[in-house]
Each structure stands twice: as structure tokens, then as C-alpha cells.
Amino acid sequence: MGYLTPKELEGIIKSGAIVGLKVHTSAGKLRVDSESLDDFASLAIDQDVPIVFHCSATTQNFTHPDYFRRLKEKHPDLKIVCAHYGGLNEKYIPENIKLLNEYPNIYLNTAGLSGEIARRQFEVDPRLVYHEDNPERWVNEFLQTIEPIQDKVVFGSDYPELKFTIHPIGKAKEEIQQKLLYINPAKIFKLGI
């Protein structure tokens, strides 16, 4: 579809065709608190839709938890979803959990926790592909952290890049699975299910 201005996006949101915006931080080489995103943040607030920020292992220069804190200082009413559990960086997890506790409208999503991570480090060499060498590490991280933050996490998948899977959500308690797969996304994205 190409680049759309905030004004063009506003019409699409009002038509009900989209329920959120996504910023792929590494593709745009933009920090989440960049002034270039301010008009999109204002649009998201005005239309009451979240912005999902791509926070994979290759975008950590753009998605440090401190940058999200600065973004919230500028736009306190903005709903934010941090994809890939906030960056697939175990050093970020405690900081991301602090953000979830500090701000009522910041959420994490579970994309990339399946343990089948195959990512490219484009900044270094586009031919290099990094495979997760310890996939159970993210399963364990998820299961150890999910209980107290279960109301602030939504399901995310890396499909079609990876096969569609809800793993490791299926290892959590059933009530947690319900929240991550149905209740939380319906609330955050106003899905009405």
C-alpha cells in the first residue's frame, strides 16, 4: 500500500477498515519517540486506536524502554503495543514490566516468543540470519513473567514469516490464555467480540 499521510489514515480508521497503526521502527530508522511520529501519535489518540511498535531484536536501537517513557511523556493518552514482548531482550523485560505498571495504556505482545525466531541483522549484513539457539529461554521468560502482567499482554504472531502458532501461550493457565487471545485484544483494539 505505500506511505499514507495521517489525514489519509484518518479516513480509513473512520471507515472501520483498520483498528490500529503499526510502526516498523527498523525499516523507518525511527526511534519510537521521534518527532516524525508525533502526527501519527496525535491521530491514534484522536481516533482511539493503538500504535503497535515493532520491537524485535534487530530494532533495539530504536525501541529502548526509556524511549517509550519519553513517548508517553509527550503523548500520555497514546495506546502503545510493544511487539515481540518489548524487544526479545532479557535486559529490557524488567524495564518493560515497569512501563506496564507505570502507564495504564502500554501493552506487550507475544510475537517472537515461539522459539522459532529466524531474524536478519540488516544493519550488519543482510545475508546473515540469526536463529535462536535456546528457544526454551523465551518460553521460560514468558511463563515466569506473565502472571502479574496478564492484563497488559496481547497475542501476536510472526505469521507468515513463521508458521502460525500460539506457543508458548498454550503453556499458560487457561484464564491467562483467554485474556491474551480474546479479552485483551478485544479491549485494546475495540473488536467487539
pLDDT digits (tens, 9 = 90+) for 50-80: 999 998 766 678 999 999 999 999 999 999 9
What does the alpha-carbon distance between residue 135 and residue 137 come to, in Å, rounded to a whole number? Answer: 5
- Picking from 5, 32, 14, 10, the residue whose alpha carbon sits closest to that of residue 86 is 32
In the structure, what pLDDT confidence band is assigned to residue 125 with cuts at 50, 70 and 90? low
* 81 pLDDT higher than 90: yes
**CA 82 – CA 107 distance, rounded (Å):** 6
Pairing of strands 118-120, 106-109: unpaired
C-alpha cell at 46: 484522536
pLDDT in the model for residue 89:
79
Closest CA to 56 of 97, 102, 23: 23
Task: Say if residue 103's pLDDT is above 50.
Answer: yes
pLDDT confidence of residue 115: 61
Q: What value does the CA radius of gyration of the chain take, rounded to a whole number of Å? A: 16
Domains in the chain: ranges and CATH: 16-188 (3.20.20.140)
